A = this chain, B = another copy of it.
Amino acid sequence: MDNLPRYRVIYEALRGDIASGRYAPGDALPSENELCDGYKVTRPTVRKALDMLAADGFIVRRQGRKSVVKGTPKGIGILSLSGTTSALGGTLRTPVIVKPEMRQWNDAFGFPLTEAERAAGCIYFERLRVLDGEPVLLDITMLPNIGIPRFAALNMEDSSLFDILRTRYQITVTGGEQQLFAIAADRHLREHLHVRQGHPVLQLNRRIETGRPDFCIYSRIFCVTGKYGLSGTF
């Protein structure tokens, strides 16, 4: 667990410091040389960690200045790579409708599966996001049952799937593919999302690639975008 590359250790540490508020939006991070001293590494190593933070949208870099922590955008943070359940005003609950369970792969939202993924079987679960008492988002997730022991036993209520995968299993998102649709709500969606029939609903299908070969996350999201848009950084 501790044989992580040094730049990953630094990345996680700084990311944690930003998430915890130790470095607030607008704050400057220590200079690269100060970070080098602190973590006992050289500049290229520190810079790699900062590259990742910048790619994830946590910091802004500009030559001559120190790196500055970015403010997170308003909205329902789903589209961003880093998978931050970004801050919005009200209270957010995430009830689990279908608990994580083993299944046969049926269809991965139209995305092709590799042989290894199909052989491994599928872990399936559904969650709802309720914002200030109003259901805004229905989330169906499928992922292959490879190298994630005891995953099904984990509590998915509060924590982000991506945080769990990254910190517990060293699985990081490297990229992916997504398709967006604006559809009219059918009976099933009406039931969960409390909208009239025919109401415009956003549908997002995603195949999310990870650093681990043959390990993709397949996700379908339905979202009501009345008050808040589905937002994110990229």
Chain A residues engaging chain B, CB cutoff 8 angstroms: 44, 54-55, 57, 62, 73, 75, 79, 81, 174-184, 198, 200-202, 204-205, 213, 223-225, 229-234
Contacts and interface: CB of A to CB of B under 8 A. Distances in A.
Given A79-B180, A202-B202, 18 more contacts: A55-B55, A73-B179, A75-B179, A79-B178, A81-B234, A175-B234, A176-B234, A177-B233, A179-B230, A180-B180, A180-B229, A180-B230, A182-B182, A182-B200, A182-B201, A183-B225, A198-B198, A200-B200
Contact of A200 (B81, B183, B232): B183
A108 to B, nearest CB: 14
A69 to B, nearest CB: 14
Nearest to A184: B200
Contacts of A75: 179
B202 A180 contact: yes
Given A55-B55, A234-B81, A229 B201 contact: no
Contacts of A201: 182, 200
B179 A231 contact: yes
B57 A175 contact: yes
A3 to B, nearest CB: 15
For the complex of A and B, the 5 pairs showing the least CB-CB separation, nearest first, are A179-B229, A182-B200, A200-B200, A182-B202, A182-B182
A200, A224, A234: residue with the most chain B Cβ atoms closer than 10 Å: A234
A62 B213 contact: yes
A125 B126 CA distance: 42
A175, A201, A213, A232: residue with the most chain B Cβ atoms closer than 10 Å: A175
